Amino acid sequence: AKHLGGNTFQFFTDNLQACTVERLQLESQLRKGIELGQLEVFYQPKLSLADDSINSAEALVRWRRPELGLVPPSEFIGLAEETGLISQIGEFVLRTACQQAREWQRQGLADLRVSVNVSVHQLRNGNLVRLIRQVLDETGLPPRLLELELTENQLLDNVESVIAIFHQLRELGVKLAIDDFGTGYSSLSYLKRFPVDYVKIDQTFIRDLSVGGEDAAITRAIIAMAHSLGLKVVAEGVETQEQMDFLKAQHCDEIQGYLISRPVEMDVFVNLLKEQAAA
């Protein structure tokens, strides 16, 4: 490193370069991982509180790396978003989840709705509607069994074009959900403008529900508002019986969280469905 005034600057550049190299490595490994079929789709059930049945599941991507094991999306989705690889990943997850849900239906296991996360990249690249139509065609999954989850924040710029895409998607018959609701900058009045079917209350509000107070009030308000607009409400991150009881008392429609099950690989999820069918 240089002496004197150059020190700090040099330190930051070295650091930055190290980061850049690491990121480039990770990017090429991820590219290769995708080619080699190392991505997998896990499923996390959602429980319908009206009849305590699993009626839906969220598809969540995992990267199974030889030697390193299972890598969670938090470690590569950000990079995938920045590099555009997210479109490829999203398409893989969509196709896999639709094939799977169609298979469960065919086997008479369940008429299960499957939800897939859509990134802002996919929303804005102009291909989304065509891709969804194509995958539904290919797999034969009834559109009402596919749900797309979009986070609140990614809907907020270019609102008009997002709304137009949403209308096209709804014409196909698929369901739409606003994910991580309550964390963004939108107001509840946004709910009225977006043609969606579900609102997913972010887990940060659910976490402290048992303590009562503000988060309970916010949760109650979101449920009431969504219902008055004819939307269904899903609460995510439900870990305790107390949280479930509270949500049931507030007429929340569905819950998702470790209390019911962690996201699990396909075989394990199928066993969950079989247990339910047998019960």
Site residues (CB under 6 A) for ligand C2E? 44, 60-61, 72-74, 77, 86, 90, 93, 117, 119, 179-180, 203, 236-239, 256-258, 263
Q: Which pair of structure tokens corresponds to residue 110?
A: 């369940």
Name the residue nearer to ligand C2E (CB basis): 47 or 61. Answer: 61
C-alpha 247/C-alpha 239 separation (Å) is 12
Q: Given candidates 180, 215, 253, 254, which one binds Ca ion under the rule CB under 5 A? A: 180
User: Interacting stretch for Ca ion, rule CB under 5 A, among 1-9, 19-27, 180-188, 221-229?
Assistant: 180-188
Q: Of the two residues 73 and 143, which places its CB atom closer to ligand C2E in the complex?
A: 73
Report in angstroms how near the CB of residue 178 gets to Ca ion at its nearest.
10
Of the two residues 180 and 253, which places its CB atom closer to ligand C2E in the complex?
A: 180
Q: Which does 77 bind (CB under 5 to 8 A by kind): Ca ion, ligand C2E, none?
A: ligand C2E
Closest CB to Ca ion belongs to which residue? 149
CB of 3 or CB of 35, closer to ligand C2E: 35
Query: What mask of x and - would describe binding to Ca ion in positions 93 to 132, judged by CB under 5 A?
Result: ------------------------x---------------
Closest residue (Cβ) to ligand C2E?
A: 257
- Total residues interacting with Ca ion, rule: CB under 5 A: 4
**Shortest distance, CB of residue 152 to ligand C2E, whole angstroms?**
11
Sites of contact with Ca ion (CB under 5 A): 117, 149, 179-180
